[in-house]
A and B are shown apart, each in its own frame.
Chain A
């Protein structure tokens, strides 16, 4: 199977003021190895929710998420935790809660729950920063970085553990077309080099220029706009229906 990730007929409802709000309804998509997939939508259309479900952070009520053939939401919490640490990476442009130097912030994923020594973690973090062209940020703090450097640091956080799936939430919006192209070339080379699939969200269609496949939120669903991935001619085989439904907030 070429697909690193298969999201099949996923639904999610939030409760707001006692009223149900259907954020996702029977949404399906796939991400192939070394391909960049962008989901474009307005704010509050469910992009981040979809990405969190795909990354194993938030549970869907219905539907299935298969990562390398394994149902993410059939795993135990500790198995899923390990999968998130080792094989799936999540990154965004959100300000880190900790006022650390970037070599420690980027290395956080490696340090958590593992016995890696600080020196080793730092070395890997600096290597990731170097790989994205942000070596000079290693000893700086978040407040000392430009917008572009924050994007690069976000990418470094994503690749430091060399994941099979990189999930990127709103990292590239508002960059401007030139920086967007530079980010696209960098992300594309990282995806090729690591052989990892990339699933990312964006509010603007400019971000989709760097993608191999583009999905657009609208009309209460997700529409495939373009799929230029290597296996785009192949029919994607979706798994059977979810074996169980999950209650809200489970």
Chain B
């Protein structure tokens, strides 16, 4: 299986991970994929395309046939579990590749329009703020007093996964916060720079050259 170099999780690895967690059908995995990774923006058919492929590679196997292909029950093979475990280690040992679109546009700005770039940054800022608010909402729901009493009722083996969920939710908030802060700084710097120049003029362009 091809492993992306960026440090991101591919849809096929996410699907494999979900089946390693527990045997499931294509329909079940498709639902869990959208619930577990709501911001990954994978195609809606990711489970449908990946699960038969993973089976062809010997990483999943069909345990029982359903009334239709999406209801076939899959489980991870020993090779599939080994592949997933390898990924779990590999992803933390690799520094993520930086392929950021805004960084690249700053690099090529002499071929583009700085005002349009600023608009792009502002748009990204708005999007980020919405994502931050959503992540913050999930975090607040997790930490509210009701959630604490829910935690008290958990069996000891469930407490660890509950706590890990909290760490994941907090990390998600901080990821969006960092991104929002970065975009705010970027837009502030671009605004400052553009404010000094006359937009659209040749002088303006040359000030970047």
Interface residues of A (CB under 8 A from B): 177, 184-185, 205-206, 208-209, 212, 214, 216, 218-220, 223-228
Contacts and interface: CB of A to CB of B under 8 A. Distances in A.
Nearest to B166: A181
Report whether over half of chain A's contact residues are helix, strand or loop; otherwise say mixed. Answer: mixed
A185 B148 CA distance: 11
Chain B contact patch, size range: 20 to 34
Given A225-B132, A226-B132, A219 B184 contact: yes
Contacts of B129: 223-226
B184 A205 contact: no
Contacts of B133: 225-228
B188 A212 contact: no
Contacts of B187: 218-219
Contact of B184 (A209, A223, A224): A223
Given A218-B188, A219-B191, A223-B129, A205 B136 contact: no
Contacts, number: 49
A205 B181 contact: yes
A205 B177 contact: yes
Contacts of A205: 174, 177-178, 181
Contacts of B139: 209
Interface string B112-150: 000000000000000001001100110110010000000
Contacts of A218: 181, 184-185, 187-188
Contacts of B191: 219
B67 to A, nearest CB: 44
Between A205, A208, A226, the greatest number of chain B beta carbons within 10 A of the residue's beta carbon is seen for A226
A218 B179 CA distance: 13
Contact of B170 (A185, A209, A223): A209
Nearest to B135: A226
A209 B177 CA distance: 10
A216 B184 contact: yes
Contacts of A219: 184, 187-188, 191
B140 A225 contact: no
A166 B197 CA distance: 44
A209 to B, nearest CB: 6
A206 B175 CA distance: 11
A226 B181 contact: no
Nearest to B173: A209
